[in-house]
Amino acid sequence: MYSKCLICGKVVKVLNGEGNVICCGKEMLELKPNSTDAAFEKHVPECEIKDNKVYIKVNHVMESDHFIEWVSIENNNEFHMKKFKPGEVAEAVFDYIPNAVVHSYCNKHNLWENKIN
């Protein structure tokens, strides 16, 4: 589960447990991932499995005020993340993880996901 503070913009990943996450004195918003792109900017991470690796790409602008902040891959046992800065290309390579979920996070349009087998 990912949560976002609506005051400072901090995003956190809850690894275990239940209950509300508090930041800046207020309950954080639980982020529900989107999985369908309807805009010109692409947000859903594209995934290609090759040679026991997962190649992830998000075809998105990487401007100073609008960019993909990070991508991650995870299942119940593993979690890996790569962060990006404006001007960089939103691409990453991770070891293949069976039954994984891949997330991307846009600083303006929040959380997006794609599932791989």
pLDDT tens column, 52-111: 999 999 999 999 999 999 999 999 889 999 999 999 999 999 999 989 999 999 999 999
86 dihedral zone (left: phi>0; alpha: psi -120 to 50; beta): beta
The one-letter code for the residue type at 13 is K
pTM (2 d.p.): 0.89
- Residues paired with residue 57 on neighbouring β-strands, in sequence order: 46, 91
Question: What is d(CA 80, CA 89) in angstroms, rounded to the nearest whole number?
Answer: 18
**Residue 40 confidence (pLDDT):** 58
**Residue 38 confidence (pLDDT):** 65
Question: What is d(CA 30, CA 35) in angstroms, rounded to the nearest whole number?
Answer: 16
